[in-house]
Structure 1
Amino acid sequence: MSRGTASLIDVSGVSQIYAGRDGAPTWALRDVSLQIGDGEFVCLIGPSGCGKTTLLHLIAGFLQPSRGSVAFQQQPIFGPGPDRGVVFQEYALFAWMTARQNVEFGLRAKPLSRSARRQLALDALDRVGLLAAADKYPHELSGGMRQRVAVARALVVEPKVLLMDEPFAAVDAMTRQTLQDDLLRLWKETGVSVVFVTHNIDEAIFLAQRVVVMAPHPGTIVSERIIDADYPRDRGSAAFGELYGSISGELTNGTRRAA
C-alpha cells in the first residue's frame, strides 16, 4: 500500500480451492494477503492461471474465500455492493438498451426519480466523452466506446473502488492508449481506488502506483513494486524501460518456480 493512504480493502491469508476433475484440490489462490489504499491505483499482473481474476472476484463479492478473509472498510465482504464498481473485459452491456439506459441501470436501486436517473446518466456519459452517443445502442458503438459506457455505468453510482478485469484487452493499441489516458483522468477527478487486472507490463507501469506480480500453481503474490514516477509517464524513457525489464524478470522467475 502506498505511503500516506488509509487501508480500504484488506485481503488476509486468502486461499481459493476448487475440486479438480479427479477430485483433488486445485489451488486458484494460496495464502494471499494484500491491502489496497483509499484512492490508490493498483495493477495485478501475471500469466493466465495465477488467480488475478479470482482475487478481483473475491473483492467484488462474487466469490467467498475457501480460507482467510476479505474486508472492505474493515467489514467482511459477503456479496456485491454499490461501493465496488466492476468493469469486465467483455463490456457486459445490454444490447436492447441505449448507452444512457445502460448507465441508468445501476441507479435503479437508488430512490431517485426517473428524471434524476436520466441526468446522472447523461453526466456520467459526458465525463467519459460520450454525451453525443447517449441514444445509440451498443451495436452502433465501437469497442472503445462500449467500454467507456461500461466505465460510466460503474462510476455513476459513485463507488469507493473500481475493479477492472483486463478492460482494454479487446481493443486496438491506439484505442487502448486513449482509454488508459481517460482512466487516469477519471481516477484523478473522482479519487476512486482502482484495482486493475492486466497481463500487459507496459499497461501496468503506465497506469499504476503499485504493481502486484502474481505467479500460478498455486496463485500467489511474488512481489510488489511501487511505481514512484509522475504522471503522465514516458514510455520511451530509460526509467520506464528499466521497470519493464525488472517486472518482466519477476514474472519469468515466478512462472519458472511454479513450473
Structure 2
Amino acid sequence: MSTSAPAGITRPGRPRVIPRAASAAGPRDEILHVAADLFVNRGFAATSTRDIAEKVGIRQASLYYHFAGKPGILAELLELSVRPSLEKVERIEVACPADVPEAALYVLALIDVETLATVPHNLGKLCRMPDVRSSEVFAEFQPALQELTAAYGRLGADIVSRPVAATVSVDQLGGLLVQAVEVVIRIRSRRVEVTSAHARAIAATCLRICGVPEARIARTTVTADDLLLRFAEERPA
C-alpha cells in the first residue's frame, strides 16, 4: 500500500512521521512504527507490549525505557492522526485573505488529507476501532479530536450558505466536514494511493457541503495554492 503524500500538494511544516525502515529509525520511533502496524491490523486489545518488543527485536524491558506501557504508545499514535492538522489552524486563519474566506477551510482540508494520507499503516483507523474508543487513552484524546472538529465547524460557519445554515448547527457542520475528509481512511483501506486529485476533490466537497457556489470554489483553489506556497517558503531552512 502506498502512503506517499498526495502529489502536487505543497507541504507547509510537514510533521515528523514514523520512519519505515528500522535502520533509519531510533528505537523509540521503531516501537511506534511496529505498534502502529499491530494496533491497526491486529487490534489494540489483542496486541501486547511483548508482541511489540519481539517484532522490534528488543527486550520487553527495553520498550519500557521508552514508554510506560501500551496506553502511552497508543496516545502518541492517536496524536499523529490529528495534531499536525490542528497545529496549523490558527496560521491558516491568519493568512487567509478576507475576500476569499473559503480558502481557510479548503487549505485545512488539504492539509488534513495529507496528514491522514501519510501517517503510517493508515493510523486514522484507530479512532474508529471499538477497543480503542473504549479505552481511557481515547477519552483523554477526545478533546484534541473535538478541537479539530470545532475548527472545521468554525471555518465552515464563516462561509456557509443560508439554506445550509438553516438545516445544520455549527457542531453538526464540523462533524460533516470531518467525515468528508476521513474518506481518505476508506481510500487507503482499499490499498489505493491518495492522489492530489483525491485531495482537491475532498477539499472542494467540503466547500460544497457548506453551499459554496462552483465559481467561488474555482477561485478558492487559486488562493489556496498561493497560501500553501507561502507556507512552504516560510518553513525554517
Task: Output the TM-score relative to the length of structure 2.
Answer: 0.29
Greater relative contact order, per chain length (Cα 8 Å cut-off, separation 6+): 2
Name whichever structure is richer in strand by fraction. Answer: 1
State the TM-score, normalized to the length of structure 1: 0.27
Select the structure that is richer in helix.
2
